[in-house]
Structure formats: C-alpha cells, structure tokens
Amino acid sequence: MNAPVTSQPVSHARALRDMLLSSELEFLMEAHNGLSARIVREAGFKGIWGSGLAISAQYGVRDNNEASWTQVVDTLEFMVDASGLPILLDGDTGYGNFNNLRRLVHKLEQRGIAGVCIEDKQFPKTNSFIDGERQPLAEVDEFCGKIKAGKDSQRDDDFSIVARVEALIAGWGMAEALRRAEAYRAAGADAILIHSKLSRPDEILEFTREWAGRAPLVIVPTKYYSTPTDVFRRAGISTIIWANHLIRAATSAMQTTAREIHANQRLIDVEDRIAPVNEIFRLQGADEYARAERAYLGAGRKPAAAVVLAAARGRGLEALTETRPKVMLPVAGKPLLRWLVDGFKAQGLHDITVVGGYRADAIDTTGVKLAVNERAEQTGELASLACAVEALEGDAVIAYGDLLYRSYILRDLLDSEAEVTVVIDSSDPAQCNPSVRDFAYCSAPDDRDLFGQAVRLLDIDSQATRDDRSAEGRWIGLMAVRDEGVGRLNAALAALRERPDFDRLDMPDLINALVTDGVTVAVQYVHGHWRGVNDLDELRLAGDFAHGQQPFGAEVPVEDVGTRADDKH
C-alpha cells in the first residue's frame, strides 16, 4: 500500500524564485524591521524587499554601508520571524569583494532569507539618487566573479542572486547597461534589476524591449512613480519593488506627531490619529502569547463584556424613529449603535449584548447579542439592564446607547483597576451636552494638574438643576465593573428588584445603591470629548463630532431641553 503523498511547505527561497519566474507581474514591498514586515504580510503582499536605505534609516545612519552587514542580517531575522514571507535583501555591493559575498550568502541562507540583490558599484556604496553620475562602477569582470562566487556558495538551489545594473544611473548609457546585464546573466544571475532615476519610464521600457526576456527583469519605480502599473505589466516586467514607502510614511507620521506633542505639550490632540496601543500589541502577537499563557500557566482573565442599553425610541426624535429605535439613527454615515459596537470591538470587547425595546426588530444584530425588554415603554433603565443579567457574570462595561466619545475614554476605563468606575464630565454643562442632568458629586473636583489622585463618587442626582455649581460634573452614561465589583453590582441590582418602584428606577439609582452599600466607585474624569443624542439639534452635532469637525464638543443652546431620564433604557 502506497504511503499518502503529503505536500511539503514551500521554502522562502522557492517562493521568491516562483515570483521571479511567474508569468504574472509580482510585487515586493519594502520593510525595515519586524513590525513593518508583519504589516506588509497583513496588507497581502507575497514578498518583502529588505531595503538598504530603510534599514539604515531605522538605525539612524546613512545609506553608505554605515550599518554593518551583521546588523542588517540580525534585522532580517526578526523580519522573517514576524512575517513568514520570502525576503529579497538589498545587499548593496555585497559588503566587499567576492569573499564577503560568499560569507553573506551563507549567513542569509542560515537565517531563512530568500535571496540577495547586489549592485555593480564599488564598496562602500552611496545611495544611487545621491550624485549617481559621480559614483564609480565596478569592473564587469570583477562583478561577474562576485556573482559566480555567490552562486557557487549557496546550498539551496532556489536561493536567488539578483544583479542590479547601475549604468543608467551613472550616465553610462543604454548600450553599456545592456552589455553589463548580459554579462551578469551569463555569470549566473537569476534576475536583472535595471535602475533609473528619470521621472519617466522611457529608459526602463527601452531596456526592456532590447532585453527581450533573456532573464527575469526587476524594476524600482521610485522616481517614475506616476507611471501606470499596467505599462510595466504589458512590457513583460517580472517584479516591481516598492522600495522605501513604509519608512517614508512612518517618518512623515512621526515628524507630525512629535512636532504637535512638542508644541502643545499634551497628548489629547493626537490620540485618535495614531494607532492604539492595543494595535501594537496585536502586531506583536500578544494574542498568541495570551493563548499560550492560558495553555501553560492556567486560565487568565476573561475579557470584559459590554452591555448597551438601547430600548428607547428617543424623546424629541419621534419624527425620525417611527420605524426604528434611536440607536439605529444614522450619524455620519452609520447607525449610532454601530459607532458604539465598532468602538468596543476596537478595544477587544467582542462579547456585546444590546438591550432593545422599542422596535427591537429593527436593530442590526451583526456582531452582537440582542436581549429585549418587552416592557420598555413602561419601565426604566434598570429593568432593561436586568434583561442582560447573564452578560454581567464577569468584567463588564455598561453604556447608554446614544453615546459618542473619543476612543481614549473607553481605553482609560478598561485600564481602571477599580471594582466600579464611572465616567464623569467636568466641563461646563452649558457648553457641552446640556441635556444631560445626572449631576455627580465626588470626593474631589477635576484637578487636571494633579495626576494620580483617587477620586470616588459620592452621589448622582438626576433632579439637580444646571445652576447647582456644587456638583463636580455629570455622569455621561458609561461605567465599568470588574473583579468583586461584578458580584456587588449584581447583588445591588437584585436588591433593587425587590422594591415596588423598581420599574421606575434608572442607572443612577443602581450606582447610588452601590455607594450606599460601601462600594468605592472610582471616578474617571473627562472634560468634553463626548456627545449624547437627545433631540434633533444634538443629532446634528453628533454628526459633526463623528466627523471630527468639533472633537471637543460644540456649543449648544443653553435652554433646558429636558433630562435623559426614561430615555436610555
């Protein structure tokens, strides 16, 4: 009986060779460290260009062989591990003569690098776009000897050596470029990289026609970037290298962010424009580590769940909510509920329960579980929360369904170590979200010059007037419970359900009950940066907020537009 045939994984070297020999146009994207290599993989690229310019730049040195070849190879090892993709190294001149190249090839194969590109200039090299005409080229016979030495040294037949022709850069003309390319092909080069510094592809296309497919042809369209890719596809180019675009993009973003933080001496202006810390953790493979930790060290902390109270039709919005609840009203192109759900998922909260009531059938349940308060029109917020009690078995975030907020607010809430934490807005109620009337009285005001102080909630009063200046802020409708706080919240909720007036109770009643029971309810202060939706004007302002036009909260008329009570459950 014949043994079953099992397919062996394709080596990195074989994968790169298949790309070079492919009948389709292939692409390599620049990367310069492990993080950028993983980003290249996630973007969908099949291979990586280990750019000499980019790797030297991330070290903060010039592209003049100032980073040693051992430092470059160490960087490449991290890139291989992070991406699992074939890497073609920009090997400059091979870091010396034929003997240096022989050792380089050995070391690259040991680290799982798929191939190396070497250029026919003299060591130490200078970047081709810096006075290229003045840079001397290597003698053809010497460079051919280097190619032969590299090919004789490789142990894997699929390892590729790409010969880069600099004659057009140096101003030596088309005839010399073709002569050199043919000599390098005859010496054993697996592909030819033809380089040009012109802003048009004329030289490249002329070379391609004259070359006539004698070996795979690789190009780097950094200077002639406006040329449509189909031009190269029709010309029969094998592979295009996008040679330095990730390091340039990263540089631009870092310069902008550094200047802004330095000028403003704060982080709030940039936080929503940069990758969340959790995204860096994800790219680093933190999820895999967490799985391994659970497997080898026992069960870890259960991720937090989220409960969204979304049973209301919406007072003041009846003209728009005849066929849908308030949370399904569109804000800046997507339903209000979707802003909440997407924000939760971005912070790793995937277990989301939405409590519907009015027109619960119209709620988009993609990615969420739906619980329904069948008596939503006769009951308050706590009756809706009681419908989701199964979701309150572990750490949880509880939110009103009509909230928009800057993402850092939720991140900070999830970082809180307190058993119960509520988000309190210390801004002037006349200037931001004036309809919110859940006034909070705390152990200390929002002193943003004093970091690290522990502030606790004393009481939430939904009947206070806006003129009461003794309150330290207003509860925005967002809280978190964790550890022992989960059980204490459930106990308080169960006790309140025994009261005859339970159907009229709202979330502030539950929070106050926790305080009365001796639970320390921590305060997370914010100063604006969020918006509720209680009427048509606030719906319009919510659209501005979501678009980022007024990220700090817009001024709204200060006349009393009613409380939020009975409108969130």
Burial class (CB in 10 A: 0-12, 13-18, 19+), 456: middle
CA atoms within 13 A on the CB side of 26: 22
Both tokens assigned to 68: 């040693």
Picking from 430, 429, 473, 411, the residue whose alpha carbon sits closest to that of residue 448 is 473
Both tokens assigned to 357: 């009531």
Report which secondary-structure segment, H or E, holds 147.
helix 140-153
Both tokens assigned to 351: 């277990």
Q: What is the DSSP letter of 217?
A: E
CA distance 329 to 334: 8
CA distance 118 to 97: 11
Using CA atoms, how far residue 451 sits from 107, 424, 454, 522, in Å, is 51, 16, 9, 14
Using CA atoms, how far residue 88 sits from 105, 112, 241, 322, in Å, is 12, 11, 10, 60
CA distance 145 to 369: 68
CA distance 170 to 19: 29
Both tokens assigned to 293: 């930790």
**With contact defined as beta carbons under 8 Å apart, do 167 and 192 qualify?**
no
Q: What is the DSSP letter of 68?
A: -
Q: What is the DSSP letter of 357?
A: B
Residue with tokens 């924000």: 343
Alpha helices by DSSP H, 371-506: 381-386, 407-415, 484-497
Q: Residue 240: what are its φ and ψ, rounded to 5°?
A: -110, 135
Both tokens assigned to 449: 């010059």
* Catalytic choice (18, 63, 287, 446): 63
Q: Residue 504: what are its φ and ψ, rounded to 5°?
A: -100, 0
Cα dihedral value 220, 225, 229, 234, nearest 10? -70
**With contact defined as beta carbons under 8 Å apart, do 26 and 240 qualify?**
yes
Residue with tokens 């009756």: 383
Using CA atoms, how far residue 320 sits from 312, 328, 458, 478, 547, in Å, is 13, 10, 38, 25, 21
Active site residue 566: no
- 118 backbone φψ class: left, alpha, beta (φ>0; ψ -120 to 50): beta
Q: Which residues are catalytic?
A: 63
